Structure 1
């Protein structure tokens, strides 16, 4: 079993805000992040599988790049995550929820179309923190 990883970048804004709470409670829990703000996000997608004797690949990295760009980056780049992204509807767009939602988008496509297993999705919100998700 071999793992390969593709890295992508995008820019997006969000607000950590629970509408069930008061402004004061949101400020207490989320601080300045309860206001609209943006990030330069970094996404790492790792798949695993057997290496093909014919190609020497687990998966063609160009196809992985195209898949991630079509199904994730094009949906989130320069968007307001709280309102503009269909696969985040109803979720508070924390890094943790965001990384799990990306998994839900990519995992079935990678399995059915390319026969590879999604191993990890890693999402950097800033250079100092990120969330990793390995599936259920």
Structure 2
């Protein structure tokens, strides 16, 4: 089994806010992240796929194809967007980094070539905070 990782970057704004709660409760739980004027992050996205090496090419998969899939199914949707308002796969969900990583998985997994599986989504919200999702 070989693992291949593509690293990408995107910028997006969001806020953490539960509409079922009062403003005071949101501020108590989410602090500055509940700011009504939003806040942004410079996200680092690591997409790791796994599978067997093709004997004819020596590749697990063509990295250009992986790059194009990430661009089409993730970056074009989230980059320079408001995650709460502009991203269909986050509609009616809390816009946490955890839910964003799960949504990215769902966006990519169905589009991988035969014999290639998604292994992990690692998403850095800041240089010191990241989420890993393994599809479980």
Q: TM-score, normalised by structure 2?
A: 0.96
CA RMSD across the alignment: 0.7
| Counterparts of 1:115 and 1:90, CA distance in 2 | 33
Deviations 1:105-129 (A, max 9, x none): 111111xx34301000000000010
Give the C-alpha shift of residue 71 in structure 1. Answer: 0.5
Aligned match of 1:93: 95
Deviations 1:9-64 (A, max 9, x none): 00000000000000000000000000110010010000000000110000111100
Aligned match of 2:122: 122
Aligned match of 1:57: 59
Aligned match of 2:30: 30
Give the C-alpha shift of residue 90 in structure 1. Answer: 1.0
SS at match of 2:76: helix
Runs of 4+ in 1 over 6 A off after TM superposition: none
- Mark the runs of 5 or more structure 2 residues left unpaired by the alignment: none
Q: How many residues align?
A: 134
- Mark the runs of 5 or more structure 1 residues left unpaired by the alignment: none
